[in-house]
Each structure stands twice: as structure tokens, then as C-alpha cells.
């Protein structure tokens, strides 16, 4: 891997502590960091290099999946970590940073490949990118990359504005937009599973598939993020990004040979073929929900509007379920149901593909034990793939009996999403990052939903915490003779 300087904005922040340092350490232990690697942490507060390294060490002890009882290993890892104070508005600080980077590149004799990781609020993205450009930080001989994390805008227009600003400093192929769902190991497997298994590839189409269900349920509520979440809601927080990315990864049709460009092209195609929703049709296809008080795992929890920091009149969505259609050769006519909610019955991200019922019945009469074939991808918290088939039960006069073929991935030593993504960004592999085209098309698709919610054209349904969401979400599927699988 090429020598790299990793410039981390927001080096004393929560994301850096919980995710980025542990991910870097795990990569280091696995020999997946460049041999010549230099990290420069940036933050507002004064900190010596030693104090910075001690903070990083602490975060690794607390959050890393790798054992940290080898002090030499840790020392080796931290040896190239430096810290510099940076006020994002102060031009002099960028000049100081440039000097420090150059000095480190010289000391370590590394070419100026620089990765700028913005682990800061999105309101700072434009300013930092512009200052990187203006200060000459990104004009050295090597490559430069910008890593940012959602939210990329608040709606279609603000996303476009943000992108326009960023693209003044970085070309599209230099921007790595993290959607951490794309780093989840099972999500990364989807393309291979579909593409390299003829038995699946052949039936990945509307002739065989009755419907697709994509769910990301959480048991947590708004947590300490009232200020952020009450402005955003489930559509912006989860649906526009994570959920639509899952949809793209699942439904794109790849040819035998693929590469990152093709994956992105095919994902874009999915979004282009997604039937647009008109504002007046949102009510018929989208269920908007908000949790009220209830009990989860035996624990009583308050309703959304009683959460600290949330106004008692808030109409914010903490749940959304939607019916989508992809208007292309493979998927035309297959309803795709997507839902995500907070304070749900269980934490689970899963995809269910329900196949059509076979036309023939071997016993010549209907056997009510017959089940549809289901292909189930559990994405998190555990990873598994299950195929439900019909078999016979010899002890019951040969009645049908559903059987499950299960594959469970061992949860030990599975790299975390951030490890996968940082590794890819260091290698310059953009496959599992969101391209601007996808982001823009996703905003364009959800914009009528945002407008309809804003104008209150769609009722807000309340659901008790600890349930599977509002009853209307079940009715959305029942209208087509379907139901959510695995709700309990």
C-alpha cells in the first residue's frame, strides 16, 4: 500500500475515539496499514503529542476488538501520531499544518499522499475543503483524498449546494463518502452472493420473486441526539442513505466480471429506475410513525415527545415504512418494502426475499404447511444467510414441513465497518463508498416524502415502544397479500 499521511479533523471527538482509532489499530495489527503511515490529529484544544497519543491509547483499550496487552505493539502503532491545534477558520493554522505535514513527510521519507478525514459536523465540510485547497495542502505531487460521513445535505437542494462547494476543492474520484452500512461485511457480500451463484443469479427476477423486505430496526430511541435527530427524522437519518444503499446493493444486476465503476454504474441504474413518488401519492405508499411510551425488554421507556430536548409538539418521524417499485426488466411488478424505526421490538437489520409460490402441488391438494421459499440475509447484529424450503415430514403422513438451510458467520474476528472502509479508502478503492450520483438520486427520490411530511399531507401514526411499528405498516403489505416476515 502506498505511503500515506492521514490528516484527521476532529481528532478529539467521539467518532474518532469510538471508531477511527480502534479501526486503525486493528488494521495495524492485521498488517493492513501502509508501511509508511503518518497520522496528524487536529482539534481545537491544545494537546501535546504525548497527551494525544495517550488519549488514542485509551480509546483503543476501551473500544478495539483486538487485544492490546502488548505495549510494544501499541507503542509502535502510536509512534507516528502527531497533534496540531486547528481552528477551522484560521488560515494560519492550515499553514502550520502544511509545515507539519511536510516535515513529517521528510522525516519519514514518504511521498505526499494525503488523506483528509473530516470527523466533524457537516456544517464544517465546505469551509475545511475550501481551506485545504487555498492553503495548498492538497497540491503536492502525490494523491489527495477527502473522507466525509453523512449527512450529505439536508434535502436535495442543500446536498447539491454542498457538493458544488466540495467539488471546487476535490474531484469526484477523490471524495470518499462513508455510509457505514456499506462497510458491514454482509452488505459487502451481497454482490458476490448474487453474481457468483448461478442458482441465485437465475432467479433474481420478477418471475420468481414475490416481494423484497428490507428492515433496519433499532431498540434505541433518540439517545442524547435530540438536537440533531429532531431536525432530521428517520427519512433523512436512515432511509435516504443506509436503506436505499441496501436496496441498491441487493437489486443491482451485475455481469460476470465487475469492478468498482460497474458497481457504481449499476447502483445508479437502480436509482434511476426507481419509480418516482409524487407528493400526492406519498400517503398511499409511505407510513410515517413516531414512538410513544412502551416497554422494551421489560424496561419502561418514555415516548418520543417526552425525551429530553424534544418539544412536546414534535411531529418528527422516528419510523418509516415504504413501498417501492423498480421499473426495469428484472424487478418490474415486485413490491419492495423498506422500513426503519427507533424503539422497535428488536435490534435487527435484515433483508428477506420472498419467492413466489410454486404452481404445482405434489399432493394434488393444498397443504397448509407449505411455506414460501425465503432467502434471508441477517446483516446485523449477527450475520447469517438462511434459505427456507419445503420438505416432507415422514412422521405426519408426508405432510409438508418447512426446513431451513442456515449459514451463520462466526462473529469472532469479523472486521468492523470502519476497518473495511478505511482500508478501502487507503487503497483508493471507492466501491463501497457513496458516489455523488447515488446520493443525489436518493435525495431526489425522498424529496416528495420530505415535502409531504413537512406539509402534513400524511398522518403521523403513533406506535408503542417495543413493538413492530404502527399497524398501518402491516396494512401497507396486507394490501398486496403480504406480511412482514419474522415480526414477533
| Cβ at position 128, least distance to ligand BG6 in Å | 21
Q: How far apart are CA 219 and CA 349, in angstroms?
A: 11
Q: Which residues are within 8 A (CB) of 242 and not within 5 positions of it... i.e. 6 or more apart?
A: 179, 180, 181, 216, 340
Q: Report the C-alpha gap between 204 and 244 in whole angstroms.
A: 18
Residue 77 near residue 68 (C-beta atoms within 8 A): no
Q: Between 135 and 384, name the residue whose CB sits nearer to ligand BG6.
A: 384
Residue from 374, 365, 363 nearest 402 by CA: 374
Enumerate long-range contacts of 449-454, CB under 8 Å, 24 or more apart: 449/235, 449/277, 449/282, 449/286, 449/320, 449/322, 450/155, 450/235, 450/236, 451/279, 452/279, 452/282, 452/283, 452/286, 453/233, 453/235, 453/282, 453/288, 453/315, 453/317
3-state secondary structure of 51: helix
The residue to which cell 437519518 is assigned: 237
User: Which residue number places its CB atom closest to ligand BG6?
Assistant: 237
Closest-CA residue to 195 (of 148, 256, 251, 146):
256
State how far the alpha carbon of 293 is from the alpha carbons of 339, 463, 484, in Å. 20, 8, 23
Instruction: Please report how close the Cβ of residue 238 comes to ligand BG6 at its closest, in angstroms.
Output: 6
Minimum gap (Å) between residue 225 Cβ and ligand BG6: 7
CB of 231 to ligand BG6, least distance (A): 12
Q: Three-class SS of residue 292?
A: strand
Q: Measured between alpha carbons, how far is 211 from 199 in angstroms, rounded to an integer?
A: 18
For ligand BG6, the binding residues (CB under 6 A) are: 216, 218, 237, 349, 380
State yes or no: 268 annotated in a binding site: no
Contact 183, 421 (CB under 8 A): yes
16 is in an annotated binding site: yes
Comparison of 237 and 354: residue with beta carbon closer to ligand BG6: 237
- Is 11 known to sit in a ligand binding site? yes
Burial of 225 (0-12, 13-18, 19+ CB in 10 A): middle
Burial (CB count <10 Å: 0-12, 13-18, 19+), residue 278? exposed
Confirm whether 461 is a catalytic residue: no
C-alpha distance from residue 377 to each of 187, 194, 264 (Å): 9, 12, 22
Q: What are phi and psi of 29, to 5 degrees?
A: -60, -35
The smaller minimum CB distance to ligand BG6, of residues 194 and 380, is found at: 380
The annotation status of 150 as a binding-site residue, yes or no, is yes
Alpha carbons 404 and 246: distance in angstroms, whole number:
24
* 451 annotated as belonging to a binding site for a ligand: no
Contact 131, 91 (CB under 8 A): yes
Catalytic residue among 154, 201, 231, 242: 242
Task: Judge whether 392 is annotated as a binding position.
Answer: no
**What is the smallest separation between the CB atom of 385 and ligand BG6, expressed in angstroms?**
18
Q: Is 17 labeled as ligand-binding?
A: yes
State the nearest-atom distance from the C-beta of 417 to ligand BG6, in Å. Answer: 7
**Would the annotation count 363 as a binding residue?**
no
Minimum distance of ligand BG6 from residue 248's CB (angstroms): 16
Identify which of residues 62 and 196 has a Cβ nearer to ligand BG6 in the complex.
62
Q: Would you say 474 is a known binding-site residue?
A: no
Nearer to ligand BG6 (CB atom), residue 210 or residue 249: 249
Nearer to ligand BG6 by Cβ, of 174 and 218: the residue is: 218
| Least distance CB 33 / ligand BG6 (angstroms) | 24
Cβ closest to ligand BG6, residue 237 vs residue 438 = 237
Q: Which is nearer to ligand BG6, 57 or 237 (CB)?
A: 237
Cell reading at 270: 437502480
First to last CA, the chain: 47
DSSP string, 4-15: EEEEEETTTSHH
Q: Is 184 annotated as a binding residue?
A: yes
Residues making up the annotated binding site for NADP(+) are 10-17, 44, 87-88, 150
- Name the residues annotated as catalytic: 242
Q: Summarize the annotated binding site as residue ranges.
A: 10-17, 44, 87-88, 150, 180, 184, 218, 237, 342, 347
Binding site feature residues for substrate = 180, 184, 218, 237, 342, 347
Amino acid at each position: 500500500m502506498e505511503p500515506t499521511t492521514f490528516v484527521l479533523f476532529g481528532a478529539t471527538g467521539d467518532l474518532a475515539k469510538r471508531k477511527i482509532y480502534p479501526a486503525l489499530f486493528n488494521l495495524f495489527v492485521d498488517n493492513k496499514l501502509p508501511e509508511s503511515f503518518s497520522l496528524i490529529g487536529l482539534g481545537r484544544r491544545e494537546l501535546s503529542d504525548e497527551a494525544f497519543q495517550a488519549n488514542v491509547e485509551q480509546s483503543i483499550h476501551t473500544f478495539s476488538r483486538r487485544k492490546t496487552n502488548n505495549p510494544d505493539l501499541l507503542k509502535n502503532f502510536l509512534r507516528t501520531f502527531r497533534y496540531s491545534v486547528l481552528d477551522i477558520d484560521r488560515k494560519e493554522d492550515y499553514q502550520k499544518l502544511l509545515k507539519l505535514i511536510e516535515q513529517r513527510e521528510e522525516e519519514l521519507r514518504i511521498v505526499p499522499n494525503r488523506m483528509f478525514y473530516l470527523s466533524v459536523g457537516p456544517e464544517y465540510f465546505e469551509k475545511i475543503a475550501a481551506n485545504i485547497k487555498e492553503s495548498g495542502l492538497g497540491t503536492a505531487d502525490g494523491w489527495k483524498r477527502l473522507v466525509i460521513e453523512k449527512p450529505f445535505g439536508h434535502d436535495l437542494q442543500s446536498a447539491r449546494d454542498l457538493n458544488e462547494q466540495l467539488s471546487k476543492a476535490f474531484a469526484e474520484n477523490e471524495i470518499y463518502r462513508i455510509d457505514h452500512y456499506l462497510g458491514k461485511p454482509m452488505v459487502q457480500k451481497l454482490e458476490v452472493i448474487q453474481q457468483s451463484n448461478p442458482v441465485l443469479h437465475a432467479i433474481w427476477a420478477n418471475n420468481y420473486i414475490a416481494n423484497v423486505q428490507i428492515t433496519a430496526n433499532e431498540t434505541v430511541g433518540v439517545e442524547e441526539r435530540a438536537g440533531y435527530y429532531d431536525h432530521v427524522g428517520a427519512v433523512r437519518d436512515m432511509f435516504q442513505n443506509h436503506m436505499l444503499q441496501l436496496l441498491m446493493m441487493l437489486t443491482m444486476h451485475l455481469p460476470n466480471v465487475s469492478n468498482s465503476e460497474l458497481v457504481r454504474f449499476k447502483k445508479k441504474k437502480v436509482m434511476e429506475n426507481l419509480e418516482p413518488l409524487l407528493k400526492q401519492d406519498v400517503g398511499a405508499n409511505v407510513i410515517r410513525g413516531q414512538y410513544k411510551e412502551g416497554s422494551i425488554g421489560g424496561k419502561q421507556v418514555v415516548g418520543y415527545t417526552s425525551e429530553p430536548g424534544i418539544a412536546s409538539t414534535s411531529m418528527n418521524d422516528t419510523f418509516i415504512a415504504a413501498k417501492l417499485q423498480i421499473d426495469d426488466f428484472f424487478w418490474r411488478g415486485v413490491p419492495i418494502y423498506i422500513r426503519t424505526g427507533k424503539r422497535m421490538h428488536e435490534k435487527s437489520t435484515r433483508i428477506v426475499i420472498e419467492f413466489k409460490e410454486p404452481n404445482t402441488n405434489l399432493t394434488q391438494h393444498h397443504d397448509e404447511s407449505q411455506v414460501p421459499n425465503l432467502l434471508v440475509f441477517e446483516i446485523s447484529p449477527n450475520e447469517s444467510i438462511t434459505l427456507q424450503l419445503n420438505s416432507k415430514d415422514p412422521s405426519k403422513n408426508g405432510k409438508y414441513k418447512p426446513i431451513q438451510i442456515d449459514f451463520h458467520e462466526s462473529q469472532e474476528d469479523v472486521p468492523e465497518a470502519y476497518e473495511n472502509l478505511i482500508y478501502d479508502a487507503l487503497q483508493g478503492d471507492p466501491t463501497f463508498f457513496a458516489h455523488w450520483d447515488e446520493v443525489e438520486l436518493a435525495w431526489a427520490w425522498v424529496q416528495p416524502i420530505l415535502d409531504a411530511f413537512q406539509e402534513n399531507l400524511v398522518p403521523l401514526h403513533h406506535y408503542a415502544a417495543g413493538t413492530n411499528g404502527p399497524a398501518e405498516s402491516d396494512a401497507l403489505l396486507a394490501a398486496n397479500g403480504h406480511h412482514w416476515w419474522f415480526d414477533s
